[in-house]
Chain A
């Protein structure tokens, strides 16, 4: 189990994360928050790239900084801005990363071939990555993260910059890789996690806001979300969420603390509604 106990991270006088307590025991955990909320800070602490100012991070009861290489042997990490060697082919790069992960040469070759198949890069395994699309690079990224068959897979904004088709493909890939391991997925794209996350972790004001199942989080807005084609008729205070077209009408989805069922249709809340409601005062 991976646990954060009272973790705080300060950069000088700026507090990026304050007093975070979390436990990860298996399945897909989605870190959902706007940009700048501290998702990447948390992930970098989990990967020992940065260190908590206060508190501790434990892996099976031992502090990860003290575990050092043995802890890092348990993790696979895809950074938000995944860097690679442009003059390497996927196969060369994966073999290099295998060496960095101290893998046996024969096992590294076998695992590299397996993962190239899994991420669908068989046709370009020996092509230089210089001309690869963003999606192909991300697939190389996920493959390198999976090389050591990690117990903890950490993916920071893995779908950023991908087209919708690539995002769907990537979601499916993550879902298939989530068996028997902890997957920590950071995103600010709600649709990425709605179907695959077992738990959603949200931060607000650099503190932990919630850590719960998507349905439970959506339940916090139950009875507060409505849809109407005449938003001007709403006299109660409300927060406009989204708009969509339906038969030539503009349907406005909104949230209100008061009962608006007499002038609008009640709707089942989704994660996007919660996201927009929770972060209504922040730039998203």
Chain B
């Protein structure tokens, strides 16, 4: 019951709704105004529905049966897919790994972990080549733009807004009794200081609900304008999909396991929810210590700023550099590389899962420590 009352406190906070509405309006505005050239991806999607997403002879035949269009979309897609080749054939990702080791001037254990990671990835690349994984449609020539647009831009905005929202609403809830001068009655009641545990579960729940609301509207708008329905079953490691960095340039989009576009989308959504929950957990720990929403929010922002700056401050020859890249804010920055090798920025395999688990454990310890301290703290 107290859990529902805690959620009700948030639901009755106009500022929170105002923030969510602003985010929704902003996302919709950006999506609508940036929508350009969607005709071609929508055409590819319609082809995918009919011809499937595997680039084989059958696909070419079915594509050929499509009526010609004034925009030349069919001809463009025929050209792109006819030239398609298996990008994983003879793809030497170990050599890419060596370039990353070189740029960091890494040696010893760090170089060893890098090498092991890329050796493992090479094995997976070889299996992708054997399975002709890259011979998949995705959005043809529009793939890079649309992949970046969805998993980089839309997810980036959505996740950043959700993290801000999670932090704000968590700190709001943990500072609620102090700001309403109800601490003394609340903490002297039978529930007492166990209220903080209820506040934590309510905060995380509300954070995920807020993410859900933002996601439904923002992604709903995006998918209304960009039809993905025909390509969900396409492989995300399609030969048309690329990842880019300054050291290796453009290279195939290679994930640790085979993902369809839908599977990758769901996995990214799962990681996003995990990051939102982690931020809420961290904010809760700060909130227990400070019990002041606005000062707490500043601390959360400063901590995240530190996590962004720290990898720059520490050399890539040190573990501390890579430890900071596991922080939630850094994971946000690397969102376009989730489930890939992560390029030169990350040391370990599955950095997004590792980062999420490490952040979760660290923030949980921090929260439990704060809670333990609060249990014996004088309230005045």
Which A residues are within 8 Å of any B CB, using their own CB? 44, 47-51, 68-69, 72-73, 75, 77, 79, 81-87, 96-97, 99-102, 105, 144, 148
Decide yes or no whether B57 CB sits under 8 A from chain A. no
A100-B2 contact, Cβ under 8 Å, with A49-B188, A87-B12: yes
Contact of B185 among A73, A87, A97 (CB under 8 A): A97
Please report the number of residue pairs spanning A and B whose Cβ atoms sit closer than 8 angstroms.
76
A69-B183 contact, Cβ under 8 Å, with A49-B380, A51-B378, A99-B5: no
Q: Which 7 pairs between the two chains have the least Cβ-Cβ distance?
A: A83-B181, A50-B378, A100-B189, A79-B184, A47-B188, A83-B182, A99-B1
A100-B376 contact, Cβ under 8 Å, with A68-B192, A69-B192, A69-B194: no
User: A75 and B188: CB pair below 8 A?
Assistant: yes
User: B184 and A77: CB pair below 8 A?
Assistant: yes
What residues of chain A lie closer than 8 Å to B185, measured between beta carbons?
Answer: 77, 79, 82-83, 97, 100, 144
How far does the alpha carbon of A50 sit from the alpha carbon of B376 in the complex, in Å? Answer: 8
What residues of chain A lie closer than 8 Å to B184, measured between beta carbons?
Answer: 44, 47, 49, 77, 79, 81, 83
How far does the alpha carbon of A72 sit from the alpha carbon of B186 in the complex, in Å? Answer: 11
What residues of chain A lie closer than 8 Å to B182, measured between beta carbons?
Answer: 83-85
A-B contact pairs, 21 of them (CB 8 A): A44-B380, A47-B184, A48-B187, A49-B187, A49-B188, A51-B376, A51-B378, A72-B192, A77-B184, A77-B185, A79-B185, A83-B177, A83-B185, A84-B182, A85-B180, A85-B182, A97-B185, A97-B189, A99-B1, A100-B190, A148-B190
User: A77 and B188: CB pair below 8 A?
Assistant: yes
- With CB as the reference atom, state the residue of chain B lying closest to A83: B181
A100-B195 contact, Cβ under 8 Å, with A72-B188, A83-B184: yes
What residues of chain A lie closer than 8 Å to B192, measured between beta carbons?
Answer: 48, 68-69, 72
What residues of chain B lie closer than 8 Å to A51, measured between beta carbons?
Answer: 376, 378
In whole Å, how far is A84's beta carbon from the nearest beta carbon of chain B? 7
Decide yes or no whether B191 CB sits under 8 A from chain A. yes
Chain B interface, DSSP helix/strand/loop, else mixed: loop
How far does the alpha carbon of A211 sit from the alpha carbon of B181 in the complex, in Å? Answer: 32
Decide yes or no whether B379 CB sits under 8 A from chain A. yes
How far does the alpha carbon of A97 sit from the alpha carbon of B182 in the complex, in Å? Answer: 11
A102-B380 contact, Cβ under 8 Å, with A79-B184, A83-B182, A84-B182: no
What residues of chain A lie closer than 8 Å to B177, measured between beta carbons?
Answer: 83
- With CB as the reference atom, state the residue of chain B lying closest to A47: B188
What residues of chain A lie closer than 8 Å to B190, measured between beta carbons?
Answer: 69, 72-73, 100-102, 148
How far does the alpha carbon of A75 sit from the alpha carbon of B185 in the complex, in Å? Answer: 11
How far does the alpha carbon of A49 sit from the alpha carbon of B183 in the complex, in Å? Answer: 9
What residues of chain A lie closer than 8 Å to B195, measured between beta carbons?
Answer: 100
What residues of chain A lie closer than 8 Å to B194, measured between beta carbons?
Answer: 69
A51, A83, A85 — most chain B CB neighbours (10 Å): A83
How far does the alpha carbon of A75 sit from the alpha carbon of B12 in the complex, in Å? Answer: 30
User: B380 and A99: CB pair below 8 A?
Assistant: no
In whole Å, how far is A2's beta carbon from the nearest beta carbon of chain B? 15
- With CB as the reference atom, state the residue of chain B lying closest to A148: B190
How far does the alpha carbon of A49 sit from the alpha carbon of B186 in the complex, in Å? Answer: 10
Question: Contact string, B191-231, partner A, CB cutoff 8 A, digits 1/0?
Answer: 11011000000000000000000000000000000000000
In whole Å, how far is B331's beta carbon from the nearest beta carbon of chain A? 37
Question: Contact string, B158-192, partner A, CB cutoff 8 A, digits 1/0?
Answer: 00000000000000000001001111111111111
Using A84-B180, A99-B1, A100-B185 as known contacts, list a sample of 4 further A-B pairs with CB atoms less than 8 Å apart, ordered by residue number in A.
Answer: A75-B188, A77-B188, A81-B181, A82-B181
In whole Å, how far is B244's beta carbon from the nearest beta carbon of chain A? 51
How far does the alpha carbon of A47 sit from the alpha carbon of B193 in the complex, in Å? Answer: 12
What residues of chain B lie closer than 8 Å to A73, measured between beta carbons?
Answer: 190
How far does the alpha carbon of A227 sit from the alpha carbon of B223 in the complex, in Å? Answer: 91
What residues of chain B lie closer than 8 Å to A144, measured between beta carbons?
Answer: 185
What residues of chain B lie closer than 8 Å to A48, measured between beta carbons?
Answer: 187-188, 192
A49-B180 contact, Cβ under 8 Å, with A97-B189, A100-B2: no
In whole Å, how far is A145's beta carbon from the nearest beta carbon of chain B? 8
How far does the alpha carbon of A148 sit from the alpha carbon of B1 in the complex, in Å? Answer: 16
How far does the alpha carbon of A144 sit from the alpha carbon of B190 in the complex, in Å? Answer: 13
What residues of chain B lie closer than 8 Å to A105, measured between beta carbons?
Answer: 1
How far does the alpha carbon of A263 sit from the alpha carbon of B191 in the complex, in Å? Answer: 62
User: B189 and A72: CB pair below 8 A?
Assistant: yes
How far does the alpha carbon of A148 sit from the alpha carbon of B192 in the complex, in Å? Answer: 14
- With CB as the reference atom, state the residue of chain B lying closest to A102: B190
A100-B183 contact, Cβ under 8 Å, with A50-B378, A50-B380, A51-B376: no
How far does the alpha carbon of A102 sit from the alpha carbon of B189 in the complex, in Å? Answer: 9
What residues of chain B lie closer than 8 Å to A82, measured between beta carbons?
Answer: 181, 185
- With CB as the reference atom, state the residue of chain A lying closest to B182: A83
How far does the alpha carbon of A87 sit from the alpha carbon of B191 in the complex, in Å? Answer: 22
How far does the alpha carbon of A187 sit from the alpha carbon of B191 in the complex, in Å? Answer: 28
In whole Å, how far is A95's beta carbon from the nearest beta carbon of chain B? 9
A48, A75, A100, A101 — most chain B CB neighbours (10 Å): A100
In whole Å, how far is A154's beta carbon from the nearest beta carbon of chain B? 8
What residues of chain A lie closer than 8 Å to B378, measured between beta carbons?
Answer: 44, 49-51
User: B12 and A44: CB pair below 8 A?
Assistant: no
How far does the alpha carbon of A194 sit from the alpha carbon of B315 in the complex, in Å? Answer: 75
What residues of chain A lie closer than 8 Å to B183, measured between beta carbons?
Answer: 83
